[in-house]
């Protein structure tokens, strides 16, 4: 075979090899007819969507659901309509400004909004948060004013023998300011130590009140109000035991931690305690059993403690009146605890214990408690 024929044969061989490689590649990349198809990623949903006309659109993807509704504090329950790709939606008109809890009801099952990362902190999470800003801004809205800082402390409680956490708010400019007073602020039964900031917006409320000079700069300490884990026992047994444990922890762990790490005035006249619902149970217990350590007490929509657990204060009105500069109690007229608060008000009057009792509009809910914080904190440390 001459050189020309050898070159021609080589070229044919190379061409054959390239063709074979091309066909093999095509066969490898072509999906088999019985192979599973790649799942197409569904387009992300926006929910809730705030509209310019004050409406809010809610969306929920549930292709196999028969019924989807949205239920929340913004108004009446609304049914969603099923659309393409199993996406349900509804636009609720004229949603009032505020911070509202809501959830979906899917074939009778309550679920959070999976498109919304704003969840209400709770021991048993079940609510999403819809925040509709006010115009002009409300105290609980984010505003262009000086802001304080939130701190987290995890510690081993000597009183309880377990790991615990507190959230601490320091006011704007705290690093340059002198020593300031402290408000210890407790949540309710279903919530946790993050509820007063994430959902209650206590830090933004304080920023607003301090900026407008309605409240003096103060540190706010938010502990876990469940010093004991809730069990099968009803609140009648759990409440007093839990309050006693929390008061022990305040004295042995929380107050020393705060006073060691922050520039605070370490005297009872510069300490306040307030709480809502179960936290109000704590507050009433503090007022009557620990008035020598706290001079300012606020009880919001409280679950009043049994009289035998606070008999020391009830039977020593002179000491309570001497120590407490403010004993402030408030409850909404539609609150399920309204009657019990009325009865506790009568009891305090009979015992000669000085206090302010305020009956307001509203029920047992966070929109009421935000307003109480706005009304209560300007009264402190004056």
Cα–Cα nearest to 273, from 253, 293, 297, 292? 297
Domain extents in the chain? 49-132, 149-379
Average the pLDDT over 360-376 and give the result. 98
pLDDT value for 12:
37
With 0.85 as the threshold, say if the pTM is over it.
Answer: yes
| Residues in contact with 373: Cβ distance below 8 Å, sequence separation at least 6, in sequence order | 185, 200, 202, 205, 274, 300
The stretch 70-97 carries a mean pLDDT of 97
Q: Is the pLDDT of residue 10 over 60?
A: no
How confident is the model at residue 314, as a pLDDT?
98
Cα 286 to Cα 325: distance, rounded to the nearest angstrom: 14
Which residues contact residue 324 at a Cβ distance below 8 angstroms, ignoring those fewer than 6 apart? 287, 291, 294, 295, 296, 297, 354
CATH number assigned to the domain covering 149-379: 3.40.50.1820
Please indicate whether the domains covering 49-132 and 149-379 agree at the CATH topology level: no
Separation of alpha carbons 10 and 370, rounded Å: 87
CA–CA separation, 204 vs 198, rounded Å? 10
Cβ(300)–Cβ(341) under 8 Å? Answer: no
- The better pLDDT of the pair 31, 296 is held by 296
| Residue 310 contacts residue 284 (beta carbons within 8 Å) | yes
Is 222 exposed, middle or buried, given 0-12, 13-18 or 19+ CB atoms closer than 10 A?
A: buried
CATH class assigned to 49-132: mainly beta
15, pLDDT greater than 90: no
Query: What is the reported pLDDT for 37?
Result: 54
Q: What is the pLDDT of residues 302-316, one digit of tens each?
A: 999 999 999 999 999
Give the pLDDT band of residue 1 (cuts 50, 70, 90): very low
Residue 134 has pLDDT above 90, yes or no: yes
Handedness of CA 329, 332, 335, 339 (dihedral sign): positive
Angle, helices 202-211/366-376, rounded to nearest 10 degrees = 30
Quick one: CA dihedral 230, 308, 335, 193, positive or negative?
negative
d(CA 184, CA 168): 9
Is the bond into 48 cis (omega within 30 degrees of 0)? yes
Can you tell me the distance from the alpha carbon of 331 to that of 303, in angstroms, rounded to the nearest whole number? 10
Percent of the chain with pLDDT over 90: 85
What pLDDT is attached to residue 19?
37
List the structure tokens of 41. Answer: 């990623």
pLDDT tens, 278-288? Answer: 999 999 999 99
**What is the mean predicted confidence (pLDDT) over 27-33?**
42
Query: pLDDT class for 14, splitting at 50, 70, 90?
Result: very low
Containing H/E element for 184? strand 182-186
pLDDT at residue 39, as a whole number: 55
User: Which H or E run includes 151?
Assistant: strand 149-156
SS3 339: helix
Q: How confident is the model at residue 23 (pLDDT cuts 50, 70, 90)?
A: very low
What single-letter DSSP state applies at residue 254?
I
Quick one: pLDDT at residue 89? 98
């Amino acid at each position: 075979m001459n050189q020309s024929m050898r070159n021609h044969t080589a070229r044919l061989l190379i061409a054959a090899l390239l063709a074979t490689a091309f066909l093999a590649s095509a066969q490898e990349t072509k999906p088999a007819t019985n192979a599973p198809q790649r799942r197409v990623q569904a387009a992300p949903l926006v929910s809730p969507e705030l509209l310019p006309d004050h409406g809010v659109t809610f969306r929920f993807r549930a292709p196999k659901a028969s019924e989807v509704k949205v239920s929340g504090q913004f108004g009446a329950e609304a049914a969603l309509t099923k659309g393409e790709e199993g996406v349900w939606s509804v636009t609720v008109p004229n949603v009032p400004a505020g911070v509202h809890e809501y959830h979906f009801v899917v074939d009778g099952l309550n679920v959070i909004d999976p498109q919304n990362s704003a969840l209400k902190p709770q021991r048993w999470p079940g609510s999403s948060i819809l925040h509709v800003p006010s115009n002009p801004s409300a105290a609980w809205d984010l505003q262009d004013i000086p802001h304080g800082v939130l701190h987290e402390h995890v510690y081993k409680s000597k009183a309880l023998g377990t790991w615990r956490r507190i959230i601490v708010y320091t006011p704007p400019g705290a690093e340059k300011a002198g020593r300031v007073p402290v408000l210890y602020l407790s949540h309710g039964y279903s919530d946790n130590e993050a509820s007063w900031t994430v959902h209650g917006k206590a830090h933004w409320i304080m920023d607003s009140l301090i900026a407008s000079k309605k409240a003096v700069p103060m540190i706010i300490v938010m502990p876990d109000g469940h010093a004991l884990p809730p069990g099968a026992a009803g609140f009648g047994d759990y409440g007093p035991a839990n309050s006693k444990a929390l008061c022990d922890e305040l004295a042995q762990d929380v107050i020393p931690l705060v006073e060691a790490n922050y520039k605070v005035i370490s005297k009872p006249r510069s300490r306040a305690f307030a709480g809502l619902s179960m936290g109000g149970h704590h507050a009433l217990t503090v007022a009557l059993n620990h008035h020598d350590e706290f001079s300012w007490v606020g009880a919001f929509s409280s679950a009043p403690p049994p009289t035998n657990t606070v008999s020391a204060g009830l039977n020593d009105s002179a000491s309570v009146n001497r120590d407490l500069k403010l004993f402030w109690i408030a409850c909404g007229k539609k609150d399920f605890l309204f009657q019990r608060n009325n009865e506790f008000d009568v009891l305090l009057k009979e015992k000669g214990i000085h206090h302010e009792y305020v009956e307001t509009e509203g029920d047992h809910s966070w929109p009421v408690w935000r307003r109480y914080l706005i009304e209560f904190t300007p009264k402190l440390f004056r």
